[in-house]
Chain A
Amino acid sequence: MKRLQVGIESTTLANGLKVVIAPDTTAPVVTVGVYYKIGFRLEPQGRSGFAHLFEHMMFQGSANAPKMQHIKLINSSGGVLNGSTSYDVTNYYEAVPSNALERVLWLEADRMRALKVDDENLKNQRDVVKEEVRVNVMNQPYGGFPWLDMPPVAFRNWANAHNFYGDFADLDAADLKDVQAFFNTYYVPNNAVLLVLGDVKAEDGISLAKKYFSDIPAGAAPPFADPSEPEQTEERRGNVEEKFGTLPAMAIGYVMPKRRTADWCATALLDQALHGGRAGRLHRELVLEKQIAVEADGGIDDIFGYNGPTQMTTRILHKPEYSSEATLAAFDAVIREVQQNGISADELEQLKVKWRSDYYATLEGGRGGYMPKYGLMHLLACFTLFDNQPQLVNTILDGFLAVTREEIQAVANKYLRNEKRAIVFRTPVKVGAKEAA
Chain B
Amino acid sequence: MRLVRFVLARIGFYVLVVLIGSFFALPLLWLFTAPFHPQATLSVQLPTEPTLANFAAVFRNTFAVRALFQNSVIQAGGAMILTTLVASLAAYALARVRLPGRDVLVYVLILFSSVVTGTAAMVPIFLLIFHMGLIDTHLGVILVFTGGLLPTAIFIMRDFVAGLPRSLEESAMVAGAGSWQILRQIVLPQVRPGMMVIAVWAFVNVWGGFLIPFILLRSPEKMPASAATYSFYTEAGTPVITLISAYALLYVLPALALYLFVNWRYGFKFFGGIKS
> Do they bind each other?
no
Please report A residues at the B interface, Cβ cutoff 8 Å. Answer: none
